[in-house]
C-alpha cells in the first residue's frame, strides 16, 4: 500500500510541477496576442509567425495542463450524484470512471495520435501559413504529452480510490487526498 501511495504522490507532484510551469504560458500568450492586435490595428501590419506563436502556446498550455486540472478536480463533472456522495462512494465512482471511460479514452487518443505525431516529426511539419512558424511537429507532440499526463493522473486517481476503499488514505499527503467540502 505504501508503494501505491508513493506512486499517487509522485504523479501528483509531476502534474503539479508541469501545471505550475505551463501556467506561465497564459500571461505570455496574452501579451503576444495583444502585440498582434496592436500590430494589426495600429500599425496595419502583421507577422504570421507571431500569430502562430500565441495560438500554439495556447494549445501547448491546454494540453499540458489537463493532467494538473484533473489532479485539482478542475474538470467539469456532473455533481448531482458525486458532490453529496460520501468518501467511499466517490472512490468507487472515480475508480469506475477511470477504468471504464478515462483510460480507454487515453488509449484511443494514444493509438490514433501516435501515428499522427510520428508523421509530423518525419515531415518536420511547419505552419501552413506562408511566413508562419516552423516546428508544428513539436506542438503536435503535446497530444502524446496530454495522454501521458492525463493517463498517469487517471491511474493515480484509481489507485487513490483503492487506498480509500482499503481504509489507507492516511498514507497519502493531505494535498493528494480527496478534497474535504
pLDDT number for residue 181: 57
**Angle at Cα 67 formed by Cα 77 and Cα 179, nearest 5°?**
55
The CB density around residue 2, as the number of other CB atoms within 10 Å, is 8
Cell numbers given for 106: 487515453
pLDDT number for residue 74: 83
Q: Is the pLDDT of residue 7 over 80?
A: yes
pLDDT number for residue 48: 87
Inter-residue contact 174 to 160 (CB < 8 Å)? no
| d(C-alpha 130, C-alpha 49), whole Å | 9
- Cell 478536480 sits at which residue? 73
How far does CA 171 lie from the centroid of its chain? 26
pLDDT band at 33 (very low <50, low <70, confident <90, very high): very high
- Spatial CB neighbours of 65, under 8 Å, sequence gap ≥ 6: 18, 19, 22, 23
Higher pLDDT, 100 or 127: 100
CA dihedral sign of residues 80, 81, 84, 90 = negative
Average confidence (pLDDT) over 20-28: 93
Amino acid at each position: 500500500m505504501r508503494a501505491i501511495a508513493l506512486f499517487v504522490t509522485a504523479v501528483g507532484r509531476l502534474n503539479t510541477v508541469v501545471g505550475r510551469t505551463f501556467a506561465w504560458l497564459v500571461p505570455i500568450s496574452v501579451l503576444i496576442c495583444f502585440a498582434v492586435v496592436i500590430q494589426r490595428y495600429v500599425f496595419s501590419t502583421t507577422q504570421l509567425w507571431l500569430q502562430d506563436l500565441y495560438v500554439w502556446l495556447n494549445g501547448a498550455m491546454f494540453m499540458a495542463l489537463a493532467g494538473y486540472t484533473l489532479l485539482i478536480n478542475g474538470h467539469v463533472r456532473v455533481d448531482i450524484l458525486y458532490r453529496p456522495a460520501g468518501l467511499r462512494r466517490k472512490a468507487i465512482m472515480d475508480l469506475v470512471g477511470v477504468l471504464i471511460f478515462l483510460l480507454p479514452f487515453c488509449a484511443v487518443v494514444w493509438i490514433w495520435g501516435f501515428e499522427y505525431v510520428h508523421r509530423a516529426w518525419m515531415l518536420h511539419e511547419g505552419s501552413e501559413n506562408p511566413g508562419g512558424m516552423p516546428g508544428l511537429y513539436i506542438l503536435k507532440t503535446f497530444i502524446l504529452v496530454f495522454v501521458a499526463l492525463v493517463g498517469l493522473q487517471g491511474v493515480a486517481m484509481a489507485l487513490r480510490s483503492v487506498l480509500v476503499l482499503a481504509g489507507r488514505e492516511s498514507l497519502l499527503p493531505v494535498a493528494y487526498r480527496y478534497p474535504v467540502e
